[in-house]
Amino acid sequence: MIRTRRLRRSEALRDLVRETELDARDFIYPLFITARAGAREEIISMPGIYRYGADRLEEELDELTALGLRAVLLFGLPAAKDELGSGAWAEDGVVQQAVRRIKALRPEMLVITDVCLCEYTSHGHCGLTRGAEILNDETLPLLARTALSHAAAGADVVAPSDMMDGRVAAIRTALDGDGFADTALMAYSVKYASAYYGPFREAADGAPQFGDRRTYQMDPGNAREALRKIAVDTAEGADMLIVKPALAYLDIVRAAREYTVLPLAAYNVSGEYAMLKAAGRLGWLDAERVMLENLLAMKRAGADMVITYHAKEAARLLREGR
């Protein structure tokens, strides 16, 4: 008789035949950098996640390294915002300063920067605006300029999250033309207009002041469009791709995995983190086990890496052999 239970009989057997495993080296940890010097402020809807002043990063970097975490994704909260989002490409901007600081303290830490305008614009949109319209082509030079300033500060990878058409080509051309041919480009290619970004918008103070992001981020009802977007970003020169959010979009992660040969990241977003923390606090489920199960599911769906606020907790549990 064929018995599938035979291979589940002992831990050694289960370990032997397991197809997917978590590894701290595949986690990317998001870091929020604030212009407030010395700050370490907890984000209310994301317990355990803090906004750091660029001068407060050393301790955090030590902790990440001790846990075997080797990649961070930076978001900036500037001191002031304006119509153009000029803080995004300021030479002494929050992210630029943080990149320099991290590279000075830990040159081996992989530094990825989120390239977008929404944290820096007074209207909170990811592109320039004219009336209620979010302008595409006019935004591209500003994104390219932002990416260049990140690369100049020492970023290893730039990650445009704005969802304007043509940004990958614009950024790639700018990098190549200015001596940054080796700076990699990780595109948020498949980014849905999702309510799961709610806590992030509190964390990064980047909620749109009017309207929503549905004219540039993708419609949650569409899967084929994700593949079209991947094809476009690949042709424009993306080195790696992101699908976001993760949990409610694992079908998209799987489809993307089958469609592209590029390295693929799933972004385990703020709302996914917040839901689990809330349920855990209420004692309604074992949040640690669910967390590991979620992260495993993202990898099983086909992600090579996971951008996750859980990176530190998960790395700690994996160390303990969970």
Q: Which of 57, 118, 226, 274 binds ligand PBG (CB under 6 A)?
A: 118
* Distance, CA of 276 to CA of 246 (rounded, Å): 14
Q: Note whether 120 and 87 are within 8 A (CB).
A: yes
Catalytic residue among 81, 229, 244, 312: 244
Q: Helix, strand or coil for residue 18?
A: coil
Query: What DSSP state is assigned to residue 135?
Result: P
Would you count residue 270 as binding ligand PBG (CB under 6 A)? yes
Nearer to ligand PBG, 180 or 188 (CB): 188
Would you count residue 114 as binding ligand PBG (CB under 6 A)? yes
Nearer to ligand PBG, 191 or 299 (CB): 191
270 binds, among ligand PBG, Zn ion, none (CB under 5 to 8 A by kind): ligand PBG
* Distance, CA of 42 to CA of 105 (rounded, Å): 23
Q: Nearest distance from residue 34's CB to ligand PBG, in Å?
A: 16
The H helix count followed by the E strand count for the chain is: 11, 12
Catalytic residue among 191, 229, 277, 312: 191
Does the active-site annotation cover 299? no
| Contact code string over 162-201 relative to ligand PBG, x by CB under 6 A | -----------------------------------x--xx
Q: Which of 269, 292, 303, 305 binds ligand PBG (CB under 6 A)?
A: 269
Does the active-site annotation cover 244? yes
Q: Nearest distance from residue 156's CB to ligand PBG, in Å?
A: 18
* Distance, CA of 80 to CA of 59 (rounded, Å): 26
Q: Which of 43, 94, 116, 252 binds ligand PBG (CB under 6 A)?
A: 116
Would you count residue 129 as binding ligand PBG (CB under 6 A)? no
Question: How many Cβ atoms from other residues are within 10 Å of residue 120's Cβ?
Answer: 26
Nearer to Zn ion, 167 or 299 (CB): 167
Query: Where on the chain is the footprint of ligand PBG (CB under 6 A)?
Result: 114, 116, 118, 126, 161, 197, 200-201, 206, 213, 269-270
Residues that are catalytic:
191, 244
